[in-house]
Amino acid sequence: MPSFDVVSKVQWNEVDNALNQADREIQTRFDFKDTGTTIEKTSEGIVVISSSEDRAKAAVIVFHEKLIKRKVSLKYLDEQKPTKTSKGGARILMKVKEGIDQEVAKKMVAAIKAEKLKVQAAIQEQQLRISGKNKDDLQASIQFLRANDYGCELQYNNFRD
């Protein structure tokens, strides 16, 4: 029976390259001079620290621009509210979302069932497996999922006959 997987995977090499480019630009730009602005990847996500909240937000914008140039969707980022640092500066945490959340996956399955497509959708950990009797039904389900916004970037892979 033909099937494919719906996944949400981050291209970490592109994120790392965008992070390095953004860091390099922040270190050389005049408007960031003497602000102590840094951007780095930690276990929590991507952290921007600066002496003021507006400089931290500007650094986030620089990072967003670098991601867009590298064709990485901003839907992967879950940007938190700026917090104060001990030195009176600002800290912004951007968590990177990878995989399809259980609630989102349930919404996708319910939408596919409501559309009455002739496919079966099953949640498998952080991905969705869709199978059907013919390829046209699978193509229709891909088109249906692309037409709707679920708040995360989706890829369609492992197409099997």
Distance CA 158, CA 69 (A): 27
Domain covering 12-96 assigned CATH 3.30.70.990 in the classification: yes
pLDDT-based confidence at 34, cuts 50/70/90? confident
Q: Give the pTM.
A: 0.82
Does the structure show a pLDDT above 80 at 161?
no
* 156 strand-pairing partners: 6
Position 23 pLDDT exceeds 90: yes
Give residue 151's pLDDT: 84
Please list the residue range(s) of the chain that carry CATH number 3.30.70.860. Answer: 3-8+100-160
User: Residue 149 pLDDT more than 90?
Assistant: no
pLDDT value of position 7: 92
C-alpha to C-alpha distances, 117 to 1, 20, 47, 69, 83, nearest whole angstrom: 15, 44, 42, 36, 46
Query: What CATH topology corresponds to 3-8+100-160?
Result: Alpha-Beta Plaits (3.30.70)
Q: What residue spans in the chain does CATH classification 3.30.70.990 cover?
A: 12-96
